[in-house]
Amino acid sequence: MNADEVLEGLDPEQRAVAATPLGPMVVLAGAGTGKTRAITHRIAYGVHSAAYQPQRVLAVTFTARAAGEMRTRLRSLGVPQVQARTFHAAALRQLHYFWPRAIGGAAPEVLPHKAPVVGEAASRLRLQLDRVVMRDLASEIEWSKVSMLTSETYPAAARRAGRSPAELDPTAMARLIELYEEVKTERGVIDFEDVLLLMVGILAEHPEIAREVRAQYRHFVVDEYQDVNTLQQHLLDQWVGERDDLCVVGDPAQTIYSFTGASPRHLLDFGQRHPSAQQVRLVRNYRSTPQVIGLANLVLAGSGRDAVQLQAQRAGGPAPELTAYPDDQAEARGVASELRRLVDTGESPAEMAILFRTNGQSEALEAALTELEVPYLVRGGERFFNRAEVRNAVLLLRAAARSDDGSTPLGDLVRDVITGAGWSVEPPAGGAQRERWESLNALATLADDFAAAGEDVRLPHLVAELDRRAGSSTRRPCRASRSPRCTRPRVWSGTPSSSWAPPTGCCRSRWPPVRRRSRRSGACSTSASPGRAGGWGSPSPRPGLPVAARPAARRGSSTARRACWASRRARAPRPSRCASGGWPGRPSAPAAAAT
Ligand SMILES: Nc1ncnc2c1ncn2[C@@H]1O[C@H](COP(=O)(O)OP(=O)(O)OP(=O)(O)O)[C@@H](O)[C@H]1O
């Protein structure tokens, strides 16, 4: 493939993104406008036109699944050497690599969940917490860390933001956060946010490491930039340094992590921070009918967000109706009675579908449908494994598992293999073919989620899990079958889509079965696994991370001090309390990373 071929099939705006590989760029892209297409083609164009060396490009996404999809697309565009990682995966990889040099010894283990440590911290404050409250407090700790707050700044910031998790007074919450850090230190572990904090600190404290990282990566692309938080932005700033080869893409109307500290401001203010940045708006929507787009534009226009006005590219369809309900129960009853009405007028239930965002929402809907005796099926894990294309793909995966040497990331390997069962990078248009593709793609995303959830997960592990799920789904009744009015397992019609979660509907068993490490980022799955190949920046890892001399750290920026202090505390089995009260953000000692 050559550079010109890469631009073929792009619309004028996508082409404007792809054909300008150098310099700062902000792409405001509405849903379904082909932003992933635009940025992957930009990277491919940059490589094929010799503007980029592929190893010097870093594409950052928010989920392991998105990173896997991006890698697949990049491979299909002939640039498999380009790195596509989540923030956490990239940071963890660097942390493992540079820790021996910056701090000394081996990097600490990353906590898979905050809950046990939060529980211990709470018990030291004599707080009795149930699991829901514990989760809220863990989220609050996360928010305070990604917002880069200290125990002193947290209470005021929390009050300003109107946050009072579990109705805890902000001062008490600050104390809980302090204790959380203490417990973590005692256990010699770090959490997800520490991974980023530590890397920010190391890069700020160690100019030679910052130089090394910047020499590795020259061009940056950040997808879903509307969801970046302050901490991630700091890390990105450190990676980019004084350069400006940064392309960010996002949609301010699609911020989904604001409760954890993400802000679309980083996206909207990009032009101020990079006055020479080009701005491109992707507005052509390839996914929905003009009627749906018209309604979406209307809803978004009233949302107060700086949303892109979409232009539909598809042919017309029926007009949608928008109905609002006061709560979930009323909504479920409203939906069920509409379906009941349609069934009574002779419509077939097989022609109807309800889509919902999370599995948890099915409960109210199922109850309402059962109540009105509307027959229904919930699409879940069970029937999925009975589909011919899935059975075929699992057979191919089983055969491939025998020769998996761990050199290819799991998601990529699975996509390679299931290509033999009919999967392709671009989905086929409509019909049964599309449905089969959706099933196969769901397997691929399942592999990404699986890889994200465990360290060093290989194809044999995935195949074992698929077998387990296929087996358990035939043995166990689905939830619907346990409802009093249903006599057999039911499944919603529809196919798992890109937002499909690991099968949970019918068999809500533990996911995944292997050791957990990073549920969110996939960070641990390939990074710095002993015996795997590669340093922090190479596409394929190599063992033996060097332990270099440990230069004494200078007193650096407050960020650096905070991070290095966190790192020092994480290593020390029982640190002596610092004069300022043991809060990672306020070290009383110099930030001597290597003690
Ligand atoms: N120039 C184009 N011509 C025809 N179809 C296109 C074009 N660009 C994108 N599409 C189609 O639009 C759909 C969305 O593309 P893509 O997944 O790249 O979009 P996205 O903006 O990243 O999606 P999301 O809204 O999920 O973030 C895909 O089915 C893709 O094939």
pLDDT at 427 over 60: yes
Q: Ligand 1 pocket: which of 11, 72, 256, 286 to mutate (most atoms <8 Å of CB)? A: 286
3-class DSSP state for residue 86?
strand
Whole-number pLDDT of residue 432? 64
Measure 100 CA to ligand 1 centroid, in angstroms.
43
The two tokens of residue 545 are 């991370």
Cβ of 36 closer than 6 Å to ligand 1, yes or no, is: yes
Q: Tell me the average pLDDT across 48-60.
A: 95
Q: Which residues are annotated as a binding site?
A: 29-36
Cβ of 286 closer than 6 Å to ligand 1, yes or no, is: yes
- Beta-sheet strand order (sheet of 246-250): 83-86, 57-61, 219-222, 246-250, 25-29, 278-282
3-class DSSP state for residue 278?
strand
527-585 confidence digits (pLDDT tens):
222 223 345 554 433 222 222 222 223 333 333 333 333 333 343 332 222 222 222 22
Q: Tell me the average pLDDT across 357-367.
A: 70
Q: Average pLDDT of the chain?
A: 77
Confidence of residue 65 (pLDDT cuts 50, 70, 90): confident
Q: How far apart are CA 540 and CA 558, in angstroms?
A: 34
Whole-number pLDDT of residue 305? 67
Cβ proximity of 91 and 192 under 8 Å: no
Q: Which residues are annotated as a binding site for ATP?
A: 29-36
Cβ of 426 closer than 6 Å to ligand 1, yes or no, is: yes
SS3 for 472-540 is HHHHCCCHHHHCCCCCCCCCCCCCCCCCCCCCCCCCCCCCCCCCECCCCCCHHHHCCCCCCCCCCCCCC
Q: How far apart are CA 63 and CA 520, in angstroms?
A: 7
Ligand 1 atom closest to Cα of residue 498: 26
Strands (E), 47-198: 57-61, 83-86, 109-110, 189-190
Q: Tell me the average pLDDT across 379-398.
A: 77
Cβ of 34 closer than 6 Å to ligand 1, yes or no, is: yes
Q: How far is CA 39 from the centre of its chain?
A: 18
pLDDT at 509 over 90: no
Q: What is the ipTM of this complex?
A: 0.95
pLDDT at 589 over 90: no
Whole-number pLDDT of residue 431? 59
3-class DSSP state for residue 162?
coil
Shortest CA distance to 239 belongs to which of 38, 21, 59? 59
Ligand 1 atom closest to Cα of residue 282: 21
Amino acid at 141: I
Confidence of residue 389 (pLDDT cuts 50, 70, 90): confident
Q: How far apart are CA 529 and CA 526, in angstroms?
A: 6
Cβ of 10 closer than 6 Å to ligand 1, yes or no, is: yes
Whole-number pLDDT of residue 429? 66
Cα separations in angstroms, 191 against 107, 205, 520:
12, 20, 12
Q: How far apart are CA 290 and CA 293, in angstroms?
A: 5
Q: Are strands 284-285 and 83-86 parallel, antiparallel or unpaired?
A: unpaired
Confidence of residue 150 (pLDDT cuts 50, 70, 90): confident
Helices (DSSP H) in 373-430: which residue ranges?
381-384, 388-401, 410-419
Phi-psi sector, 291: left (phi>0), alpha (psi -120 to 50), beta: alpha
pLDDT at 451 over 50: yes
3-class DSSP state for residue 400?
helix
Stronger pLDDT, 67 or 576, i.e. the higher one = 67
Stronger pLDDT, 484 or 55, i.e. the higher one = 55
Work out the angle at residue 183's Cα, subtended by the Cα atoms of residues 124 and 581, and round it to the nearest 5 degrees: 80
231-279 confidence digits (pLDDT tens):
999 999 999 999 989 999 998 887 766 666 777 888 888 999 999 999 9
Q: Ligand 1 pocket: which of 33, 225, 283, 311 to mutate (most atoms <8 Å of CB)? A: 33
Whole-number pLDDT of residue 496? 30
Cβ of 287 closer than 6 Å to ligand 1, yes or no, is: yes
Cβ proximity of 197 and 204 under 8 Å: no
DSSP code string of 341-376:
HHHHTT--GGG-----SSGGGHHHHHHHHHHTT---
pLDDT at 283 over 60: yes
Neighbour-count burial of 503, counting CB atoms closer than 10 A to its CB (0-12 exposed, 13-18 middle, 19+ buried)? buried
Q: How far apart are CA 124 and CA 130, in angstroms?
A: 15
Phi, psi of 9 (to 5 degrees): 80, 5
Measure 29 CA to ligand 1 centroid, in angstroms.
11
Cβ proximity of 307 and 281 under 8 Å: no
Measure 58 CA to ligand 1 centroid, in angstroms.
22
Measure 36 CA to ligand 1 centroid, in angstroms.
7
Q: How far apart are CA 458 and CA 474, in angstroms?
A: 25
Q: How far apart are CA 23 and CA 21, in angstroms?
A: 7
Q: How far apart are CA 118 and CA 110, in angstroms?
A: 15
Q: Which residue's CA lies nearest to atom 7 of ligand 1?
A: 34
3-class DSSP state for residue 146?
helix
Whole-number pLDDT of residue 254? 78
Cβ proximity of 331 and 364 under 8 Å: yes
Q: How far apart are CA 359 and CA 504, in angstroms?
A: 8
H helix count then E strand count, the chain: 25, 10
106-129 confidence digits (pLDDT tens):
889 999 888 889 999 999 988 887
Ligand 1 atom closest to Cα of residue 31: 25
Residues 6+ apart with CB under 8 A from 345: none
Ligand 1 atom closest to Cα of residue 9: 1
